[in-house]
Structure 1
Amino acid sequence: MRRILHLTAILLCSMLGGVPMKGQSLDSPVDYVNILMGTQSEFALSNGNTYPAIALPWGMNFWTPQTRKNGDGWQYAYTDNKLNGFKQTHQPSPWMNDYGQFSIFPMVGRMEFDQEKRASWYSHKAEVAKPYYYSVYLADHDVTAEITPTERAAIFRFTFPETENAYVLLDAFDRGSAVEILPEKNAVTGYTTRNSGGVPENFRNYFVIVFDKPFRQNHVVKDGKIARNGTKAEASHAGAFVGFSTQHGEKVVARVASSFISQEQAWQNLKEVAGRDFEAVKLEGRDAWNGVLGKIEVEGGNLDQKRTFYSTLYRSTLFPRKFYEMDAAGNIVHYSPYNGEVLPGYMYTDTGFWDTFRALFPLLNLVYPSVNREIQQGLVNAYKESGFLPEWASPGHRGIMIGSNSASVVADAYLKGLRGYDIEALYKAMLHGTENVHPNVSSTGRLGHEYYNKLGYVPCDVEINESAARTLEYAYADWTIYKLARALKRPQKEISLFAERCLNYRNLYSPEYKLMRGRNQDGSFQSPFNPTKWGDAFTEGNSWHYTWS
């Protein structure tokens, strides 16, 4: 049954206000989305820390225009005035950075591999940015570039001027990459190994790009040096140029897909767009977003408030992303970011439960339960493949943030009625996490569990940072385990254990300050104590924040 939530203007009053623009007609939820919202950010000052993700909901691959250098987590900044690539990205946040990325970029006249030299001036006045479609005019090259995505593929459309030297560059990025040009297939294939951690040693993102026009030229790049008429390159930083002769206004179409499994699977994923028309894929993408965003209907509020609401709902339905693929037989398979094997079943990634367990996952349970059912199945697989539930995955375990908030994600789904996955395995994984810590990634499992389980808190004087925050978050996680244990009719001894442990938050309550406070191993409270001090025994906050969270 289609779930619809009606939100009144009272609920929206906390959002940004504004005056509606006159004469503007918005017919569908996706029309309110501004994917550039939050992109006016820098490392030094955050105004959102987002990038324009051209993607389908929860899609395996996103695409984004790139204004910054390869490897910069702030890959698109609204205040920049030059573009140097259109990047396939899997980045969940600039702090986590990216993996499996490569870029595509058109140019005319002269081949330029260097990012600064190939970059083109552009204007936001000549930029159209939608979740399902992106278009921009590259003034220095007199080329209009368009993108429309599917879950694992995309179609590019380049409108060139009249020239004998129209080029499209495929930049496979550094730290290990390869390309091969296949003129007989009008194709370029290859792989990138670029990542920011959390991957097995055999990690690769295999790609294929097929053009609708034969190549007039083909050249490869090895570590910045162009090898003319070459067809293969394997280097630290590989790339490929294909060239065409074009008439004024001629459109060159490129269909691209990728796979974390194999080159053959990349060709399989290309079937999402093979033989399909650009406009048809664009319309299908629009319909997909309207189907997801339209689950919530808004009443009241002004135009800017609706834009804010649907723009943030768009962000809420990008992650965690699908990390699974369909093989030639239609089976769901995935490359495991935990053990490097290709295995059956679902896998989702690129989310940190510390950041999302309070709001995002309850939203999924209420509005998109079928999606979270797949996510829960993916968590079962993550546990089987790594021995732990993830806490921050991108794509595998990453060493950042605290808590064992996977317990809340698992318990909330089941208690809200989700079924159809191995809840017993997930419950076992939750218990395992209360008594263990990952041997290589201390943010996974429970760092300090020995102290917590014995003393009822993690001491602040045993060289475990953010100890008070850990204690409070472990206690909340124990409450969710207790609730799930009751629902699963676990043995009373087990239920009682977590009923007791979930009260451990009381061990940090300071009667003197009537606030939560770090505590030493001998039972004394941390001193000196400043309740407004950021960090120390707390995580991205202070005692006032954590006392009420």
Structure 2
Amino acid sequence: MKLLRLLSLCLLLLAGSLSLQASSTSPTSYVDLVNPLVGTQSTFDLSLGNTYPVISRPWGMNSWTPQTGKMGDGWQYSYQATKLRGLKQTHQPSPWINDYGQFSLLPMTGKAPVFNEEKRASWFSHKAEEARPYSYEVYLADYDTRVRMAPSERAAVFEVEFSRMARPEERWIVVDAFDSGSEIQQLDRYTIAGISRKNSGGVPKGFANYFIVRFTDPIQRLVREERKGKDGRHALVAVNLADEKVSSPTTFYVASSFISREQAELNLKEVASRSYQQVRAEGKAEWEKQLSRIAVTDSPDRMSTFYSCLYRSLLFPRRFYEINGKGEVVHYSPYNGQILPGYLYTDTGYWDTFRALMPLIHLVYPEEGAKMAEGMMNAYRESGFFPEWASPGHRDCMVGNNSASVIADAFVKGLGRIDPKELTTALLHGANNEHPSIRSTGRLGYKYYNKLGYVPSDAGINEHAARSLEYAYDDWCILQTLQKAGASADQQQLYAERAMNYRKLYDPSIGWMRGRRQDGSFQSPFSIFKWGDAFTEGNSLHYSWSVFHDVQGLIDLMGGDKAFTRKLDSIFTLPPIFDDSYYGFVIHEIREMQIMDMGNYAHGNQPIQHMIYLYDYAGEPAKTQYWVREVMRRLYSDRPDGYCGDEDNGQTSAWYVFSALGFYPVTPALGQYAIGTPYFREVRLSMPEGKSFVIRASDPSVPYIQSAQLNGKAWEKTYIDYETLRRGGSMTFTLGAKATSWGTHACARPYSFSRAKK
């Protein structure tokens, strides 16, 4: 009897232990694993993300952030800062691009309001700050005041607990519409309205952000200050509500619109008459819904970095459309200044995000990707070109014609209501024209490229070799569209030939890509270690791998599998040698490569991020498995220094998300993913129509694939297809501590254009 009792007790203890284990590996909230402060410990000289805490809904039109930087400073929130100047509405995709549609609010106490942003700033501490994707709370120490904020898609609710030591008439809310021609007026006893025109470019004449602030208590006093701003009037007001209910928080609502003040009032309905807790709960539920599309089972500490990266992957490109009084989707066009029907998205640089971020959206969030594709078509109709870097309209930044990759990837996957004939016309126009004023939109140097097969080094066009390599890949993307659209054989043949233009930049005498002159000779003097000049924020060691569509062709150029893998190996074994003479100083991208102790591998910038997966194409997938895990382990975390360079609109985060799943889109617009190694014990991808794809790993603490099974059958290929994932099913990996021969057979390799043509 005692033995039975003892056995029962042991079983109860075991059950309790298993229950505890289950709770530790199955968190009730994915979103609360997210740290919005990841990457905020950055400076101009060294980027560890160059992020700010984006408090928003997924892809929200308006975002909010605590503002530590001065008005107009691209580094609008720095983890190292000790004072807050306000809570700011923001649309900033990057500190290098800066912001638009911006204004700020700051509760404060005192006999009179303080408008000067330096003097009004309050000390704060991260110990008294709570940043969530769906809410932000902070204690303003100088005012003994607590502020809480929760956004909807286009609006936000604020809740303020003023100091009990401050009399009602000493409690203020300062609204700063920023300089550059701003306005603020009182509409009634409860409402003020303003206009912010401060922007950093990419807007037509007449651009404005119209905002509304509505208080739940009547305005007793309004103090106004107007200054001469940088580019026009700078309007600020301070509102005193003089509420006698000292013990209750002050609540107010904010919304804005790019269309009109009346539309801003419509947008205010998203939060009006709702409590902070209600809006906060709705925001949390929305984030939970989106993040749970990729449901990970593992320990919370391993999951926190993953979900912080997935959160960053769901912020940009942001929705730039609104819902009018008739319930119709409309948008202000930053391309021509008109109010037009349909979707529009903005705040993304496709030079960065064509690589992994947009393929991630197209795979896991296809309904959002469909609207983004339709928005791209609207941008073409309104400006004559697809955007390459949009914020909110065309911006002159980076190189390439990589919108072709993004729209082709959506089109071949059947996303969005896209007319094939119109898409073909749009792609061909972009590939054979230069934008009249924006050098990075269309194809700068296209006449040279179409004639010679490359943009020459002596034509006065910067970063010519990088442009040429990306144009060749973009031509392959256009070919995929032409094939699906049923274009003529002559058109298809032309772009098939242009897709091979990358070969013209390969110099066999040095074994790397190199710029060429108009006469066909190679650029000289030339150094493979020189950043810039022929390349974009990188050197030949980084850009020589930019043959996304034909890795086998690149292997052939470099002398076969062994020679190719030796070159891949050399990127890690070389010391971090660099030549910064093109810039005249060490740009932050160089410094980030130098200090990471990974040789010349520069994961902090995008051109080389796919390189690790190229071992799959040369019969050595174990090296892909090793280096993927090393980069994930060493260069990412959930801390404020959690990136190794610019996060860049979700691209660097999407690399991590894909790599944690165990595969990566080396060739966007293909519908195939090169296999790396899974990071988690189990991942469930929720697909449309209720289907799911489950990825399991036997021991994710080790990287090497011993064997794999797809839907219960042995799988030896080093790739998996888009349609396989979308249909649902499972893939199981047995992992070990030692490399094996798995995936080394020649027929196991992913797609290459050269091989596909044979």
TM-score range (shorter-chain normalised) is over 0.9
Aligned equivalent of 1:13: none
Paired with 2:418 and 2:88, the residues of 1 have a C-alpha distance of: 35
Q: Relative to 1, partners in 2 of residues 1:497 and 1:39: Cα closer, same or farther, differing over 3 Å?
A: same
Q: Deviations over 1:384-433 (max 9, x none)?
A: 11000000000000001000000000111122232423343222111001
Matching of residues 10-409 of structure 1 within 5 Å = 26-109=27-110, 110-162=112-164, 163=167, 164-184=169-189, 186-223=190-227, 236-246=233-243, 247-300=245-298, 302-409=299-406
Tell me if structure 1 keeps the 8 A contact 2:411–2:418. Answer: no
Paired with 1:547 and 1:463, the residues of 2 have a C-alpha distance of: 22
Aligned equivalent of 1:229: none
Q: CA deviation at 1:27?
A: 1.6
Q: Deviations over 1:245-274 (max 9, x none)?
A: 355443111101000000110001111111
| Greater Cα offset, 210-219 or 449-458 | 210-219
Q: Relative to 1, partners in 2 of residues 1:161 and 1:437: Cα closer, same or farther, differing over 3 Å?
A: same
Q: CA deviation at 1:23?
A: 8.9
Q: Deviations over 1:105-162 (max 9, x none)?
A: 1001131100111011111111111000110010111110000000000001111123
Paired with 1:71 and 1:483, the residues of 2 have a C-alpha distance of: 42
Q: CA deviation at 1:25?
A: 9.0
Paired with 1:23 and 1:284, the residues of 2 have a C-alpha distance of: 25
Matching of residues 391-470 of structure 1 within 5 Å = 391-470=388-467
Other structure's SS at 2:479 match: helix
What is the RMSD of the two structures over their aligned residues, measured on CA atoms? 1.7
Letter in 1 for 2:346: T
Tell me if structure 2 keeps the 8 A contact 1:30–1:289. Answer: yes
Q: Relative to 1, partners in 2 of residues 1:480 and 1:224: Cα closer, same or farther, differing over 3 Å?
A: closer
Paired with 1:395 and 1:96, the residues of 2 have a C-alpha distance of: 10
Paired with 1:200 and 1:281, the residues of 2 have a C-alpha distance of: 34
Q: Equivalent of 2:527, from 511, 530, 535?
A: 530
Paired with 1:305 and 1:508, the residues of 2 have a C-alpha distance of: 42
Q: Deviations over 1:277-322 (max 9, x none)?
A: 221111110000001111001234x433311110011011000000
| Greater Cα offset, 389-398 or 267-276 | 267-276
Paired with 1:132 and 1:347, the residues of 2 have a C-alpha distance of: 23
Paired with 2:273 and 2:420, the residues of 1 have a C-alpha distance of: 42
Tell me if structure 2 keeps the 8 A contact 1:380–1:422. Answer: no
Q: Deviations over 1:176-233 (max 9, x none)?
A: 100001343x1110101000000001100000010001112112111189xxxxxxxx
Letter in 2 for 1:310: Y
Tell me if structure 1 keeps the 8 A contact 2:373–2:415. Answer: no
Letter in 1 for 2:412: L
Q: Relative to 1, partners in 2 of residues 1:470 and 1:270: Cα closer, same or farther, differing over 3 Å?
A: same
Letter in 1 for 2:36: I
Other structure's SS at 2:249 match: strand
Q: Deviations over 1:70-108 (max 9, x none)?
A: 000000111111101100000000000000100011001
TM-score by length of 2: 0.67
Paired with 1:330 and 1:294, the residues of 2 have a C-alpha distance of: 29
Other structure's SS at 1:377 match: helix
Other structure's SS at 1:400 match: coil
Other structure's SS at 1:219 match: strand
Letter in 1 for 2:162: F
Q: Relative to 1, partners in 2 of residues 1:221 and 1:535: Cα closer, same or farther, differing over 3 Å?
A: same
Paired with 1:314 and 1:77, the residues of 2 have a C-alpha distance of: 19
Paired with 2:271 and 2:66, the residues of 1 have a C-alpha distance of: 21
Letter in 2 for 1:155: V
More helix by share: 2
Q: CA deviation at 1:165?
A: 1.2
TM-score by length of 1: 0.92
Q: CA deviation at 1:44?
A: 1.7
Aligned equivalent of 1:4: none
Tell me if structure 2 keeps the 8 A contact 1:408–1:477. Answer: yes
Q: CA deviation at 1:244?
A: 2.6
Matched residues, number? 519
Other structure's SS at 2:406 match: helix
| Greater Cα offset, 145-154 or 235-244 | 235-244
Q: Give 4+ residue runs of structure 1 displaced > 6 Å after superposition.
A: 22-25
Other structure's SS at 1:236 match: strand
Other structure's SS at 1:237 match: strand
Tell me if structure 1 keeps the 8 A contact 2:61–2:153. Answer: yes
Paired with 2:469 and 2:359, the residues of 1 have a C-alpha distance of: 20
Paired with 1:156 and 1:423, the residues of 2 have a C-alpha distance of: 46
* Structure 1: gaps of 5 or more residues: 1-19, 226-233
